[in-house]
Structure 1
């Protein structure tokens, strides 16, 4: 945004104040999910609703529309492409915001905050009926929102597709189905291969447990303080800067950017799952690294759309890269096995190879965030199908638990022991985030294809990790992926970086290779 004219200056000032309001909302959300006492939920809901109303007014008012129009008139057709792309994205979002009823915006914010609080209570008590009315309200409000937004869509889209646009620009149900069908066809045979090897092979040949909690010596209980220490060591080794970053605890791990130099992540320690917090820290730090690497430049640039994430699929690809390609990799296990053993004062794994297998369990479990790489995407297929049923096929909310359990049995051969580890496990629907879940599976596909491009450019990932040179991986991503921001959509980014269209092939090839190595002992 070099040498802006007067209209661009005025628009910049307006956007800056809008982002300040948005960052206040993000701060309140972070507080709500980390340290806010439960009794504060109602007041917090009113605070967030007020901010949502003010943000909507600033993003849809005639004053703002005039500012955008004046800036568009000031910018010539031969102006720098980033400037023209910024204005194009601002215009698109303006038209969407102008379609929304302010009363609906406020009602949604209230319902999201209320849904969050009710979900936390219901999940802790395994009480789906207590959550059902909040979910019904959110579905109704999101349907109304989609109906209002339809007028601003450049092409005809279904209600679910409209709601998915903020997470995955230009996504369609048909495209997702084309990407997910190969996963649904190829993953179950791999799961059967693992199950057969476990049944036939010697003890310890296959990673045990759904969460890495068991090893050849029995149950491993890693003290909470030790888990926190190892998480801190991991972050420090990957460039954590305490002057810009903060890690806290929450019921559901997440990453949150509060401002251009204020990055937050959260994790949780799960009883009897000794690697959960460690791997979640790697995952959320991957999100934060991406946020820190986006092309914001400085505070002056922060409000412009090109400084935003390309898509949530790309966002997830970055977190999954650090969690799965690095922290679950063999070279990483070789380096960190001595740290874990020294912290415990013993080696319960019997060597780095077994430690690596424990970081990579290959047995399906009911919990998405604890799922192994092999079964994870089928968790997303389940949620994608159920979202469509709830939003577009009139499935009653009361039928959700049974539908969930039945389809999970079909996909993974398991049934949750309770709704708390079934349809109540995720926070997303409690906040009305319909259209979000497919980004997780897209993240796996994108990560695989970007990893191939990275290795073609700078050599094997394991080689850099073995040398303690994760900085080289960060540098490649910082040059090839992070600076693109919203100059492209997710699929365009993949094609630009890898040279070919996004597909399931690279991810399935990665799974085949990893499963083979794990079954063969390395």
Structure 2
């Protein structure tokens, strides 16, 4: 076999391991009974560790290194050139991490991830703080090997949004906060819609059916899609042809799961729409989470909270939820854009959501500066909620325990949500420049035109363009919060008659 053929055989084996561990994680989070989770977690740890060993072995590394040499590299096509460059960079980094430390990190985060739902459901911070502290220390330990000499939190941010730093985030978040806080204060002081109209019961199975209908309407290929239920919604993919989302249905609050489905559907469309030529290569592994969140939040907010998104499918909505006939689409529109200072990030409106992310970013930054301890976290969290949203959580379940991200060691992920929204303001301008008013497109039921535009300009390239490159090629400008600020100001001034 040629050098490339040997590499592709090893790559295929690693992809099989990735598929297997992906299925185990899916099962662990969705249908596995509680009594089976410990053994399943052990199996996941074993296969993850074996995969890590194979992917960082001398044999695999030597193949990558030889293919990265100029004589061999120039023989490769563009897809394989990107794959080799990315793998060489990542291998140089990961081979600095001893296998026993990697195995230890998987065990620590798996334990934390298993305990977190129990702590949240029982509102018991005491059972979670020790596993969380261990996860934080393990994160620092791992980074000391993979990114020696680099600020730990900058390294974590870079893991989720390549090229991004705390300095850049501080600037754009600061610009947004300066304009957003007075706008939120004005909106919250204005007359509010009556949310009590939307507390009627909608059975979980009806919600699940409606969510499937909506993601298909957005452009999802349902032959390559699956949906299940978990405590915290997420998206995962085994490969381009097997993309899955989860949801958490609430019978007396159906709007929340509806928008969770649209959000996760945006993630899933990005994964589905990657060009198949990148299948099994680094080009299909999209780790730029600001860019990924921009796609989920573009569907959720820019499109999903636009009244015209719902006009073409309103008859179907009323057929599945008859109570909506009496309420009407105008009241529904006001409710889905109801701005209020609330406790739960995933249930927040698109305006105050920004403040939820800023809160988490500032706390994470201080954790890794050594200024906030795990013991302090509930108190610090509540102080930040009061400072930014003028409310104090009644308990830890609606405060510091509400998110799953810290339980699996995803520190540095939270900023990507707000970065994604900031990108969206820029993408909205680009879409309308090319296609015209999104109001008109949505009202005509042509949302798939927008999905096709996103596929053409963003999705198809997978991981081959980092976020800053996408902004340059699609928007022709550097990162700026100004377009998002304009979108917010125009929209909510009109809705609330400010």
Class of the TM-score when normalised by the shorter of the 2 chains = over 0.9
Partner of 1:203: none
Higher mean alpha-carbon deviation, 228-237 vs 486-495, is at 228-237
Unpaired stretches in structure 2, ≥5 consecutive residues = none
In the alignment, what sits opposite 1:189?
Answer: 182
Tell me the residue number matched to 1:273.
253
Question: How does 1:451-466 map onto structure 2 within 5 Å?
Answer: 451-466=428-443
Q: 2:94 matched to 1:112?
A: no
Aligned to 1:214: 196
Residue by residue over 1:142-190, the C-alpha shift from the partner in whole angstroms, topping out at 9 and shown as x without a partner, is: 0001111124xxxx63111212322111221111111110122111111
Asked if structure 2 preserves the Cα contact closer than 8 Å seen for 1:44 and 1:113, the reply is no
Match of 2:33 among 37, 62, 82: 37
Name 2:271's counterpart in structure 1. 291
- How many pairs are equivalent? 497
Counterpart residue number, 1:139: 136
What residue is the counterpart of 1:254 in the other structure?
A: 234
Matching residue of 2:397 = 420
Please identify, of 467-476 and 66-75, the stretch whose mean Cα deviation from structure 2 is larger: 66-75
Name the SS of the counterpart of 1:424 in structure 2. Answer: coil
RMSD across aligned C-alpha pairs, in angstroms? 1.9
Residue by residue over 1:84-141, the C-alpha shift from the partner in whole angstroms, topping out at 9 and shown as x without a partner, is 3322211110111111011111111111211111101110000011100000110111
Displacement, 1:41?
2.4
Instruction: Give matches, 1:339-354, under 5 Å.
Output: 339-347=316-324, 350-354=327-331
- Check whether the contact 2:218–2:451 (CA below 8 A) recurs between aligned residues: no
In structure 2, C-alpha distance between the alignment counterparts of 1:141 and 1:305, rounded to whole Å? 26
Q: Tell me if structure 1 keeps the 8 A contact 2:239–2:280.
A: no
Match of 2:54 among 37, 51, 58: 58
Aligned to 1:263: 243
TM-score, normalised relative to structure 1: 0.91
Per the alignment, in what secondary structure is the counterpart of residue 272 of structure 1? coil
Partner of 1:175: 168
> Is the 1:11–1:67 Cα contact (8 Å) retained in structure 2?
yes
1:148 partnered with 2:148 = no
SS in 1 for 2:237: strand
Q: Distance in 1 between matches of 2:45 and 2:75?
A: 41
Q: By how many angstroms is 1:520 displaced?
A: 3.1
Residue by residue over 1:474-497, the C-alpha shift from the partner in whole angstroms, topping out at 9 and shown as x without a partner, is 111111111222222112211111
Give the Cα–Cα distance (whole angstroms) in 1 for the partners of residues 481 and 41 of structure 2.
41
Residue of structure 1 aligned with 2:5, choices 2, 9, 21: 9
C-alpha distance after superposition, 1:41-75 (max 9, x if no partner): 22122112112211221221111111012212343
Secondary structure at the aligned position of 1:166 is classed as helix
Q: Deviations over 1:312-367 (max 9, x none)?
A: 11111111111112221110233344333333334466432111111111112110
Query: In structure 1, how many angstroms separate the alpha carbons of the residues matched to 2:380 and 2:47?
Result: 36
Structure 1 segments unaligned to the other structure (5+ residues)? 199-205
Secondary structure of the structure 2 residue equivalent to 1:363? coil
In structure 2, relative to structure 1, the CA distance for the partners of 1:30 and 1:460 (3 Å cut) is same
Q: Is 1:324–2:273 an aligned residue pair? A: no
Q: CA deviation at 1:416?
A: 1.2
Once the two structures are TM-superposed, the CA of residue 398 in structure 1 deviates from its matched residue by: 1.0
After superposition, the C-alpha distances for 1:262-304 in whole angstroms (9 at most, x for unaligned) are 111111112432201111111111111000111333xxx4221
In 1, the alpha carbon distance for the partners of 2:464 and 2:383 equals 41
Q: Cα distance 1:271–1:403, how it changes in 2: closer, same or farther (>3 A)?
A: farther
Superposition pairs of residues 391-402 of structure 1, within 5 angstroms: 391-402=368-379
Distance 1:388 1:176, change over 3 A: same
Kindly indicate which of the two structures has a greater share of residues assigned to helix: 2
C-alpha distance 343-485 of structure 1, shift in aligned 2 (>3 A): closer
- Give me the whole-angstrom Cα distance separating, in 1, the residues matched to 2:96 and 2:318: 58
**Offset, 1:383:** 0.8
Change (3 A) 1:84 1:242: closer
1:436 aligns with 2:393: no
State the secondary structure of the residue aligned to 2:286. Answer: coil
Q: Secondary structure at the match of 1:264?
A: strand
TM-score, scaled to structure 2: 0.95
